[in-house]
Amino acid sequence: MTRKLITGGTVVTATETMRADVLIDGEKIVGLLGADVESPEVDLAIDATDRLVFPGSIDAHTHMEIPFGAATSKDTFETGTRAAAWGGTTTIIDFPIQMKGDSLIGSFEQTMAKAAGNSAIDFGFHQIVGDVNEQSLAELNLVLEEGVTSYKLFTAYPGVYYSTDGEVARVMQWAAGNGSTILMHAENGSAIDLLREQAIARGDTSPLAHALTRPAEMEGEAAHRVILLAEMTGAPVYIVHISAKQVVAEIAAARRRGTNAFGETCPQYLYLELDMLDQGFEGAKYVCSPPLRDPGEGHQKALWQGLAGGDLQVIATDHCPFDFEGQKTLGRNDFTQIPNGLPVVEHRFPLMVHAALEEGRFSLNRMVDVSSTAPAKMFGLYPQKGTIAVGSDADLAIVDPGAKVVLSAESHHMNVDYSCFEGKELTGRIETVMSRGSIIVSDGKFVGKQSHGRYLRRGLNQLLQ
């Protein structure tokens, strides 16, 4: 076994900030040594003087190589997990997608075949349930046996992924029976489809109409409804990619009632805004669902406060990149044909480091919680993942807090031809990244292996109240 020691750094977890050397044996952390402890013999010492040592970050919501309309998201598991590693992320949770008429277990097996042997970092899955029927419900038990303990349903996209309230409730009943968690894409798809059809009929075809036909109230409405369905059935519910203040309020109110309701937001909803869609067809670069919102209405403020104060628990990405040329342009004359999704997986953790260090949005400890520890607990990976502790996997991100980086399509590693954060300067540079004791990024260079990442069988939600 190879022993490594990370020396001289400041270790930051969700609860502690401490000067400590991190001793690693093979794939695991085996010691945290105070400054006055004599250094043990090791095979490799990594100098982290003046550096912050964080747990490897967890992106609990990515979509590598998935179809959306006529396009397929550009990052494969290979390119997407490598880009994630560059950004200090050492675990992703992606999604097998059962479409209408598909076998559920078949979709799991297909996604496993794509990811296994092709991921630079460890990965788990949430299962998308796109066709609720007796066969699917039976197959859910098979997926559960594979260590998938969370299931995603949609109140959006009628005719594609949409489930009726009764179908959502049926899967929630099943989840309540075994303790697994239901993820919800909460937007009122039926009302939104009406607005979309009306916009196209009156000739409103530009990317801005994408956002204007998905009002925040319809995100709040759907969140309210699915939280009540969760209360009726007893299943824990986790609302994904929250963009609207109304949803933050729904989750806060539900949690005060003692309901196991949880919320995730993404960097795009914190840093990007409605106006970015209002620049002719260039706005297609910012088309995602739910859409970017008007900060004048207080959405960003509510999301930041939710993350800092605990009403929201997780920051993920919904990473789903499409090239501008050739993919986003499919919707040049009709916004409904623009593939939905943004490239974010590489930048989530650096943006959160910046938010803590430079903007003072929250403490570094709270930053680690929302970006690593809480996702690990929410999705049954803690304490193997999500912290720096004796016995945890040696997944680490070493950051120079004094360095600056500028985000750009020229320098990013995601397999997509534009950046939605072009030109943004961040404080903090990810220097070294380790996954299960192996260095995968060194001084900003990828030195990992395409087949390093392992499938993670997950336990149940550890954040239930």
- Give me the least distance between CB of 191 and Zn ion, in Å please: 20
- Give me the least distance between CB of 185 and Zn ion, in Å please: 7
Number of neighbours of residue 324 by Cβ within 10 angstroms = 15
Task: Output 221 or 318, the one with its CB closest to Zn ion.
Answer: 318
- Give me the least distance between CB of 66 and Zn ion, in Å please: 9
- Give me the least distance between CB of 231 and Zn ion, in Å please: 24
Side by side, the strands of the sheet bearing 3-7 are: 28-33, 21-25, 3-7, 44-47
Judge contact between 383 and 15, C-beta under 8 A: no
User: Which residue's structure tokens are 């409103």?
Assistant: 204
- Give me the least distance between CB of 203 and Zn ion, in Å please: 30
Contacts of 49 (CB under 8 A, 6+ apart): 7, 8, 9
- Give me the least distance between CB of 219 and Zn ion, in Å please: 14
Task: Output 239 or 308, the one with its CB closest to Zn ion.
Answer: 239
Task: Output 318 or 369, the one with its CB closest to Zn ion.
Answer: 318
Task: Output 10 or 289, the one with its CB closest to Zn ion.
Answer: 289
Task: Output 219 or 318, the one with its CB closest to Zn ion.
Answer: 318
Task: Output 188 or 317, the one with its CB closest to Zn ion.
Answer: 317
DSSP string, 160-213: TTB--HHHHHHHHHHHHHHT-EEEEE---HHHHHHHHHHHHHTT--SHHHHHHT
DSSP state of 342: -
Please report the sign of the dihedral spanned by the C-alpha atoms of residue 398, residue 401, residue 404, residue 406. positive
Question: For residue 377, what are its two tokens?
Answer: 């607990």
Helix (H), strand (E) at residue 6: strand 3-7
Closest CA to 334 of 420, 191, 210, 214: 210
Centroid of chain to Cα 172: 22
- Give me the least distance between CB of 115 and Zn ion, in Å please: 16
Burial of 8 (0-12, 13-18, 19+ CB in 10 A): middle
* Residue closest to Zn ion (Cβ): 318
Note the residues at the interface with Zn ion (CB under 5 A). 318
